Amino acid sequence: MKEISSLSQVFALLHWDEDTMMPERGIDSRAEQAEALSGIIHEKIVSRSLGESLRALSADSSKLSEGERVCVREWLRDHDRSVKLPEKLVRELSSTATLSRKAWMEASRASDFAIFAPWLGKTVELKRRQAECLGYSGVPYDALLDDYEPHMTVAELDPIMENLRAGLVPLVAAIADSGVKNDLRALSLRYPAEKQEIVAREVMSAMGVDSTASRLDRSAHPFCSGISPTDVRITTRYNEKLFTSSLYGVIHESGHALYELGLPGEHARTPLAEAVSLGIHESQSRFWENVVGRSLPFVSWMMPKLKKLFPRQLRGIGAASFYRAINAVRPTSIRVEADEVTYNLHVVLRYEIEKALISGEAEVSGLPSLWNDKMREYLGIEPEDDASGVLQDIHWPSGLFGYFPTYSLGNLYSAQWWHRIRRDVSGVDKMIARGDFKPILSWLRSNIHSQGRRYPASELVVKATGRPLDAGHFICYLNEKYGDIYGVRM
């Protein structure tokens, strides 16, 4: 299993390199390299003798330490899930994703959902087959969710997402009705990329991202690649006409990086040093990006640094107005451009639609109108066209069903961490205001990062905060923050 883990680290490096460094024409040999390596990893993880050894250890686990028991449990989970998927289906999923992404790109350019529809139909069918192979206790969608948020089910998630929607819709409406407009002009002046990079590195370092174990590079789409607990690489892209996009992108990816760097190195290459779920991973990035990074104390700390580098662009802008500008709530049809409040309604919409697709309650052909109806209902707007509507995300073309909810789960978890941290770390706002993030990081380290896959996310959240996950903390957090900014009381 340690060998498999090292090979998976190499696989992660292949992907990082492909997106950051690889010369353009290297793509075909890279595909062959990735295929050869993933073939070997697959062969090793489905090995019958591995399964037998793990099962024997699991049956007689009295001699194992607690940590060893966790490893055996999680290794067995990984083994069993891999064994359940026939190689033929895995290949079909992968080749369909490649062709489907091509059709999707064409459909997006032409803004014509019909070009993509047959591929989405095929993907849904394959995902249903995948769910049947993997098995589930409730509904087929559970099996897909389980890939990204292990052990989470629709039965648990539905009430959470429903509460989330119910809390958000009135808040969004109240903000729209408030008539308050924030002045965003300063944010769209020109901010040279080289100076943006200086800020990015300064913030990374202040957050505690170890520069001897990490890198920051550029790529078309920002990501964090945790190659090992001592080699974590993040990327960004610099938009010179919208510098907060890169700034908060880097804070977001640094949140992911801190999680990877905080996994216990002494257990490297075991589940004790692996991320527990995408939702928990996202809770780290969104915690730093939104809860910390978009708070007034953080902005107060950052403002003098920004003004030093961008004196002209930020002339006359104080921390308070900068804070209002970066927290402007404006419904948009594009998810990745959405603010902290409306963002989750984009996710709720996708969750509802993909659940309905997998269960058969929704037809692929009816998707554009279903999408637009929900946009109107939840956000009060309608996309201009399919390209900025139902076609905007790469997830479905890539066969990623069950992935979207983890974005919102990240937000919900992050609000729950924050609620607890405010109790556990006294004076935390003042610490943030002077750029001292150590107490926060140390809380995250001991409660989340150091735990690896020891507990399922649902138990982890109880251990860390004393309460199971619910949307309440997040809604309260939003109501308080945006109630202040927009002068509305919810």
Torsions phi, psi for 470 (to 5 deg): -150, 170
Select the residue interacting with a second copy from 9, 58, 321, 372 (CB under 8 A): 9
**Residue 462 contacts a second copy per CB under 8 A:** no
Name the segment binding a second copy (CB under 8 A); options: 7-15, 378-386, 432-440, 441-449: 7-15
**Residue 21 contacts a second copy per CB under 8 A:** yes
Nearer to a second copy, 140 or 271 (CB): 271
Looking at residue 293, its amino acid is: G
**Residue 7 contacts a second copy per CB under 8 A:** yes
Name the segment binding a second copy (CB under 8 A); options: 37-45, 137-145, 339-347, 401-409: 37-45
Helix (H) or strand (E) holding 218: strand 214-218
Coil, helix or strand at residue 423: helix
**Residue 333 contacts a second copy per CB under 8 A:** no
The two structure tokens encoding residue 284: 């780290």
**Residue 13 contacts a second copy per CB under 8 A:** yes
**Residue 30 contacts a second copy per CB under 8 A:** yes
**Residue 103 contacts a second copy per CB under 8 A:** no
Q: What are the residue numbers of the active site?
A: 253
Strands 231-236 and 214-218: parallel
Nearer to a second copy, 34 or 186 (CB): 34
Select the residue interacting with a second copy from 23, 304, 311, 316 (CB under 8 A): 23
Nearer to a second copy, 59 or 220 (CB): 220
**Residue 28 contacts a second copy per CB under 8 A:** yes
**Residue 229 contacts a second copy per CB under 8 A:** yes
Select the residue interacting with a second copy from 78, 112, 231, 337 (CB under 8 A): 231
In DSSP terms, 226 is beta-bridged to: 232
Cβ neighbours of residue 184 closer than 8 Å, sequence gap 6 or more: 325, 328
Instruction: Provide the mask over 232-251, with x wherever binding to a second copy is found by CB under 8 A and - wherever it is not.
Output: xx------------------
What whole-number distance in Å separates Cα of residue 61 and Cα of residue 53? 12
- 163-222 residues near a second copy, rule: CB under 8 A: 210-215
- 248-277 residues near a second copy, rule: CB under 8 A: 268-269
Q: Do the beta carbons of residue 118 and residue 126 sit within 8 Å?
A: no
**Residue 39 contacts a second copy per CB under 8 A:** yes
Nearer to a second copy, 232 or 370 (CB): 232
Sign of the four-CA dihedral 443, 448, 454, 457 = positive
Collect contacts of 139-147 with beta carbons under 8 A, ≥24 apart. Answer: 139/358, 139/359, 140/358, 140/359, 141/354, 141/355, 141/358, 141/359, 141/401, 141/402, 144/358, 144/401, 144/402, 145/402, 145/405, 146/402, 147/402
Q: How far is CA 402 from CA 11, 140, 357, 460, in A?
A: 23, 11, 11, 21
**Residue 40 contacts a second copy per CB under 8 A:** yes
Angle at Cα 170 formed by Cα 166 and Cα 172, nearest 5°?
A: 110
Name the segment binding a second copy (CB under 8 A); options: 29-37, 304-312, 321-329, 433-441: 29-37
Nearer to a second copy, 257 or 296 (CB): 257
Coil, helix or strand at residue 426: coil
The two structure tokens encoding residue 369: 């109108």
Rounded least distance, CB 475 to a second copy, Å: 39
Looking at residue 155, its amino acid is: A
The two structure tokens encoding residue 425: 């770390």
**Residue 46 contacts a second copy per CB under 8 A:** no
| List of residues contacting a second copy (CB under 8 A) | 2-3, 6-7, 9-10, 13-14, 17, 21-26, 28-30, 32-33, 35-37, 39-40, 210-215, 227-233, 268-269
